[in-house]
Amino acid sequence: MRLTLNIASEEALEHDLLNLEVPTETTVGSLKGMVQAEAHIPTTSQHIYHNGQLLSDDNKTLEQLQVVDGDMLALHVRDIVGNTGVPQPGPAQQPARRPAASREEQDPEVIRLQLLGNPRMRQEVQRAQPELAAAVENPQRFAQLFRQMQDQERRERMMRQQHIADLNADPFDIDAQTRIAEMIREERVQENLQNAIEHNPEVFGRVHMLYIDVEVNGHKVKAFVDSGAQATIMSPSCAESCGIMRLVDKRFAGIARGVGTANILGRVHSAQIKIGSLFLPCSFTVMEGKDVDLLLGLDMLKRHQACIDLSKDKLVIQDVEVPFLGEADIPRSFEEVTEPTVEGPGGTTIGGRSGAISGPAGPATANTPAAPAAQAAATPQPQPPIQPSQAAPASAPAPSAESIDQLVALGFSREEAVNALNACDGNVEFAAGLLFQG
């Protein structure tokens, strides 16, 4: 079987063709080995596509993937550079047929013409780098800004390499070795995050809390089901609305202490609550300082032998099934609590408690033009210099317009598509799974 591979590198504007004779039972992994032998491209840098689909399973044969004689495969070469500043592979591992054009050798005029010919790409540059987009009609100004950005990238790369060299200069320096150990730890954490995004993206979806519709003294309330709370709690405003504030026994007033403190106004010893078709007696502790109107605690759940059935997404009490509310019906005041965030890949942020992924902070945080330049000329983003206290992971390439269009065609907004692709290192399949799980 004869195959033609269209080789495209992130650092080169032109493409190359490679013709191979391979058996139909050849696996993807073996094909990558053949390409490495012929073109000296490392297998870790090879991303082979057939009809727009990435061939990610190295164990599958070409016949299983429905690759037939005469097909053309697209080979995208993406060089992998270690986070610790290890240099790229030597000349023996680089493509021998022609040297790839480096970032510094790119012609600003070619980039400018590409932006002029692609309105969507120009719009992305306008969002991320407004100064560069404003100069697209002025060739001299555009070239000046582009070269300034190249110089900034070069300086940052040199600072990074110099910093690592300084750390390794004295192997007996305890402080330097401590910083190196911290850099390694940070890289392992980032690697763990990348693996989770790639192989287990559903953990980054937002999980909403469990609420059900109830009635207290004939008044409808959305109750938060919390098996971790010891007592059933009601806010003073909810007690007023339900008409049971007059029943509060103030002898049970006090202060609740836990993560914080809150005033307990008293206790309603018995009031009727309707859950589903059941009318049950319930006692309420009226307490200030809660963002939820009614919280069904463990005392109520155990007293009536309630079961939280997550497989059915229902609360079962005495064989009566009460469905939990959907995310759209949950009171927003309780869900929208500010949570700490950590930096994720591609400029995204990840919630420290919920794990929910948010988009990049905006143009103010983009310190280089790598994102628009990558979209315009398929170039990698620059790596920020490593500070002594942390290791900055290598930035991922900005998502291509084709990848964004594929996700938009699935019904997602353009912003959601860009955020998901940034979080998944541009992988369309993982990004789609992340959006569907979210």
Element (H, E) at 405: helix 401-409
How far apart, in whole angstroms, are the C-alpha atoms of residue 79 and residue 426? 15
Dmax over Cα atoms in the chain, in whole Å? 89
What counts of helices (H) and strands (E) characterise the chain? 13, 18
- Strand pairing class (16-21; 211-216): unpaired
Task: Mark out the alpha helices in 129-173 (DSSP H runs).
Answer: 130-134, 139-169
Gyration radius of the chain over CA positions: 29
- In whole angstroms, what is the distance from residue 18 CA to residue 5 CA? 5
197: left (phi over 0), alpha (psi -120 to 50) or beta: alpha
The token pair at 29 is 């992994």
Asked whether the CA dihedral 110, 100, 426, 409 is positive or negative, the reply is: positive
Q: Phi/psi at 290 (nearest 5 deg)?
A: -110, 140
Distances in Å between the alpha carbon of 36 and those of 29, 40, 86, 158?
A: 11, 5, 21, 30
The CB density around residue 378, as the number of other CB atoms within 10 Å, is 18
Give the tokens for residue 68: 């037939």
CB 366 within 8 A of CB 132: no
Dihedral sign from CA coordinates of 113, 117, 118, 122: positive
Cβ neighbours, 10 Å, residue 60: 14
Annotation marks residue 213 as catalytic: no
Distances (CA, A) of 149 to 93, 104, 156: 29, 10, 11
d(CA 118, CA 330): 42
Name residues whose C-beta falls within 8 Å of residue 180's C-beta, 6 or more positions apart in sequence: 167, 168
CA–CA separation, 83 and 187 (whole Å): 7
Task: State the catalytic residue, choosing from 58, 71, 226, 299.
Answer: 226
Provide the annotated active-site residues.
226
